[in-house]
Structure 1
Amino acid sequence: MLEALEKIKSAEEQNDRKKEKLLAELSAYEASKKKILQEKKEDLKNTFSEVVAKREQLLTQQLATEEHELTNSAQEAIKTMEKNYLEKKEQTIQAIIERVISEYGS
């Protein structure tokens, strides 16, 4: 009977050692997976930051191009309006002169 108790005690001690070993392995596995997860999170953050930066740069370039095109278009419109104004001004002056001459003579 004493021998059986010693075997049981030995088996329990062996089970406890196995349990401790398995818990240590589990803890190491968990730490490893947490590290991998953290690295993946960092990679995703970096990738996201790069994508955002590239997108921001692209949008900035597009905005600058659009602004340049709008400025050129506005300048052309202003030139056209000035030209039209001067032409109409000359025509109006000529029309007034002709009317005065026709009304009052030379």
Structure 2
Amino acid sequence: MYIFTCSVSLSDGKIATCDGIAYEGKLWLVLKWIRYPSKPVVIPERIIRFDSCPHQKTEGGDLDYQNIQLPMPKSALRGEVPQGIEYIDRPQNLEVPIHLLPR
């Protein structure tokens, strides 16, 4: 699995940076990773779909996708996803080896 880096333009004008993944043929933001204490893997706590929103794929540099335009407030990054935004809490069968995480 490839994990990429995204910049998201929020509705309050702020820019947030987070990880992203491809899952079930769609592109998703990963807001937080949860680590298993007994295995060297992580799972996303929540993923938010962004490929249906305006965004730019970049080549080279620190970001893989930028200017992702999601109609959501900064509070969505803390877990309060508004209506109309597609998301999945703790997606099934999506364990990622820790060594694949960027950083």
Fold similarity call, TM over 0.5: no
Question: TM-score under structure 2 normalisation?
Answer: 0.11
Q: Which has the larger radius of gyration?
A: 1
